[in-house]
């Protein structure tokens, strides 16, 4: 959510930034119209309430009924007027808030213009888009042949875009999750285990709503929603709280499954385990002082890159352009790993600084100095890493000519010492 004061004071600059995303300024104008009307109504109704408070107090001191009656009658009318104005005020407030929630975040000055993901500049790379010394197989062929991925069983249980991991496949994923968590704990993140379902408010806070409503699973009866990413519960961990500056920064890592209907991408990536309705992810999340948040974004990116590096996967990092930048993000890096079987770079992490966007929605503040006024803090999130794609990259990079898979060194302690899947 954007600061209403910014819209009031620099509407043209905000519209200019929106124009870079092909968004026109209609919503900005709507917010401002509401804001004007809201303040007019507010002034009037507060004046009446002040009057009523004063007179009501005076009435309580009057003994004589003859003196009280006319005052009470007068206040009855004032009361009617107040309830009328209050209703109008509530309505205009709701309209303004709804419009404000529809507004995307403004981009950081570093963000380049671009039409889509093809125009994201690569800013860092380690390793190459290498060819293997034999014809590389895609992970779905490797996985099925080894009996570690079963697509039919997934479909039988839950329909298309579901799969079952078996044996060392399931164990490899579990080992990777465990290793990732332990790595991030060493990097200074505090592990949290959260509910995998949340109230609707949490999805507004993190910015999933209103935009991705159609992409979310929900239980009508309880009003709870399945999390599409750990970012959602973690954002709201401290919602409506004021953190002391001394507590910051707060760094969390959370493992959760993620549930997405993926209707927005129907028909894309139908083969393999790249894009399913359910996947696992280890997520890093940082609550930072605003003046520290961009240094924190660089650190977050390095922490994500470290995962790929230690797993021995070729990776590169891109800076997202306007055409690919997420709704809530001010600046995002994507980390991609090379998958030789599919012959493509796979996004395994997206590291974003959303600045105050989520903090405002979650009403999450910190106190810069003891006794100072609370301010919204900055939040950042980054995968570390997304599991299916990491598994894809592991299978495809560590495959051998005979279709067996070498288990990366770092994962072996988590696999009971197993060095090879065959």
Partner RNA sequence: GGGCAGGUCGCAUAGUCUGGUCUAGUGCGCGGCACUGGAAAUGCCGUACAGCGGAAACGCUGUCGAGGGUUCAAAUCCCUCCCUGCCCGCCA
Catalytic entry in 275, 302, 309, 412: 275
User: DSSP class of residue 195?
Assistant: -
Name residues contacting RNA, limited to 320-379 (CB under 7 A).
365, 367, 370, 373-374
Which candidate in 260, 316, 361, 365 is catalytic? 260
H or E element at residue 345? strand 344-353
C-beta closer to RNA: residue 58 or 170: 58
The verdict on 53 binding RNA (CB under 7 A) reads: yes
Residue identified by tokens 């009031």 is: 8
Under 8 Å between Cβ of 322 and 206? no
Counting contacts by CB under 7 A, is residue 149 touching RNA?
Answer: no
Judging by beta carbons within 10 Å of its beta carbon (0-12, 13-18, 19+), is residue 351 exposed, middle or buried? buried
Can you read off the two tokens belonging to residue 55?
A: 């007179």
Pairing of strands 378-386, 344-353: antiparallel
Q: Does 268 bind RNA (CB under 7 A)?
A: no
46 binds RNA (CB under 7 A): yes
- CA 238 – CA 364 distance, rounded (Å): 7
Least Å distance, CB 373 to RNA, is 6
The reply to whether 56 sits near RNA by the rule CB under 7 A is: yes
Looking at 206, 329, 350, 383, which residue is catalytic? Answer: 350
Respond yes or no: is residue 260 known to be catalytic: yes
Helix (H) or strand (E) holding 349: strand 344-353
Short-list 191, 174, 380, CA closest to 280: 174
Distances in whole angstroms, Cα of residue 203 to Cα of each of 215, 250, 253, 353: 12, 21, 19, 18
Contact 230, 194 (CB under 8 A): yes
Note if 119 is an active site residue.
no
Q: Does 281 bind RNA (CB under 7 A)?
A: no
# binding residues, RNA (CB under 7 A)? 29
| Residue 224 lies near RNA (rule: CB under 7 A) | no
Which residues in 117-266 belong to E strands, given as ranges? 122-126, 149-150, 164-165, 190-192, 197-198, 218-219, 224-226, 242-244, 250-259
Q: Is position 43 an interface residue for RNA (rule: CB under 7 A)?
A: yes
Pick one of 15, 30, 49, 218: the residue that binds RNA (CB under 7 A).
49
Q: In what helix (H) or strand (E) does residue 185 lie, and over which residues does it extend?
A: helix 168-186
Nearer to RNA, 356 or 381 (CB): 356
User: Taking a C-beta distance cutoff of 8 angstroms, is the pair 393, 346 a contact?
Assistant: yes
Give the one residue of 12, 57, 65, 291 binding RNA; rule: CB under 7 A. 57
Cα 136 to Cα 126, 169, 272, 308, 405, distances in angstroms: 21, 19, 15, 20, 12
Least distance to RNA, CB of residue 49, Å: 4
9, 19, 26, 50: which one binds RNA (CB under 7 A): 50
Whether 218 is a known active-site residue: answer no
Nearer to RNA by C-beta: 16 or 39?
A: 39
Told to check if 54 binds RNA by CB under 7 A, we report yes
Q: Is 46 a catalytic residue?
A: no
Q: For RNA, which is the closer residue by CB, 52 or 211?
A: 52
Q: Are 228 and 215 in contact (CB under 8 A)?
A: yes
Binding RNA by CB under 7 A: which of 23, 33, 59, 132? 59
Site for RNA in 372-411 (CB under 7 A): 373-374
Integer Rg of the chain from CA: 27
User: Which of 15, 17, 33, 79 lies at the binding interface for RNA (CB under 7 A)?
Assistant: 79
Query: Does residue 55 bind RNA (CB under 7 A)?
Result: yes
Q: Please identify, using beta-carbon distances, which residue of 9 and 409 lies nearer to RNA.
A: 9
Give catalytic status of residue 420 as yes or no.
no
CB 336 within 8 A of CB 326: no
Q: Among 23, 32, 33, 42, which residue sits at the site for RNA (rule: CB under 7 A)? A: 42
Q: Output the smallest distance, CB 79 to RNA, in A.
A: 4
Specify the residue, 158 or 224, whose C-beta has the smaller distance to RNA.
224
Which x/- pattern over 226-255 shows residues binding RNA (rule: CB under 7 A)? ----------------x-------------
Kindly state whether residue 52 participates in binding RNA, applying the rule CB under 7 A.
yes
Concatenated DSSP letters for 131-164? Answer: PPSSPPPPHHHHHHHHTSEEHHHHHHHH-TT--E
In sequence order, the 6+-apart residues with CB closer than 8 A to the CB of 172 are 148, 391, 394, 407, 411, 415, 421
76 binds RNA (CB under 7 A): yes
**What residue has token string 């579990």?**
174
Does position 265 interact with RNA (CB under 7 A)? The reply is no
Q: Which residues bind RNA (CB under 7 A)?
A: 4, 39, 42-43, 46-47, 49-50, 52-57, 59-60, 72, 75-76, 78-79, 83, 90, 242, 365, 367, 370, 373-374
State the catalytic residues.
260, 275, 347, 350, 389
């Amino acid at each position: 959510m954007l600061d209403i004061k910014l819209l009031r004071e620099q509407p043209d600059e905000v519209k200019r930034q929106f124009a870079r995303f092909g968004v026109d300024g209609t919503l900005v104008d709507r917010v401002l119209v509401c804001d004007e009307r809201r303040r007019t109504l507010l002034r009037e109704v507060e004046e009446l309430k002040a009057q009523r408070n004063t007179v009501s107090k005076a009435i309580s001191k009057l003994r004589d009924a003859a003196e009280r009656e006319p005052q009470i009658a007068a206040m009855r009318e004032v009361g009617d007027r107040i309830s009328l104005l209050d209703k109008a005020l509530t309505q205009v407030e709701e309209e303004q808030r709804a419009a404000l929630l529809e507004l995307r975040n403004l981009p950081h000055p570093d963000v380049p213009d671009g039409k889509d993901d093809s125009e994201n500049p690569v800013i860092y790379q380690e390793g190459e888009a290498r060819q293997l010394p034999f014809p590389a197989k895609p992970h779905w062929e490797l996985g099925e042949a080894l009996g570690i991925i079963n697509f039919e069983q997934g479909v039988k249980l839950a329909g298309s875009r579901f799969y079952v991991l078996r044996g060392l496949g399931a164990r490899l994923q579990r080992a990777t999750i465990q290793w990732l968590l332990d790595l991030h704990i060493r990097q200074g993140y505090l592990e949290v285990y959260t509910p995998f379902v949340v109230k609707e408010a949490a999805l507004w806070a993190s910015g999933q709503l209103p935009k991705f409503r159609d992409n979310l699973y929900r239980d009508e009866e309880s009003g709870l929603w399945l999390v599409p990413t750990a970012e959602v519960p973690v954002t709201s961990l401290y919602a409506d709280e004021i953190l002391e500056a001394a507590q910051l920064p707060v760094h969390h890592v959370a493992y959760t499954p993620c549930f997405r209907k993926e209707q927005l991408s129907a028909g894309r990536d139908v083969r393999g385990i790249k894009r399913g309705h359910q996947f696992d992810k280890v997520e890093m999340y940082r609550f930072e002082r605003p003046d520290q948040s961009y240094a924190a974004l660089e650190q977050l990116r390095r922490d994500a890159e470290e995962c790929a590096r230690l797993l021995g996967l070729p990776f590169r990092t891109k800076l997202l352009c306007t055409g690919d930048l997420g709704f809530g993000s001010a600046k995002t890096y994507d980390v991609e790993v090379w998958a030789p079987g599919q012959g493509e770079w796979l996004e395994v992490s997206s590291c974003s600084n959303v600045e105050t966007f989520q903090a405002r929605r979650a009403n999450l503040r910190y106190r810069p100095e003891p006794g100072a006024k609370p301010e919204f803090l900055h939040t950042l999130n980054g995968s570390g890493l997304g599991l299916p794609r990491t598994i894809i990259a592991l299978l495809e990079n560590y495959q051998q000519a005979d279709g067996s898979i070498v288990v990366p060194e770092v994962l072996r302690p988590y696999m009971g010492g197993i060095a090879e899947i065959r």
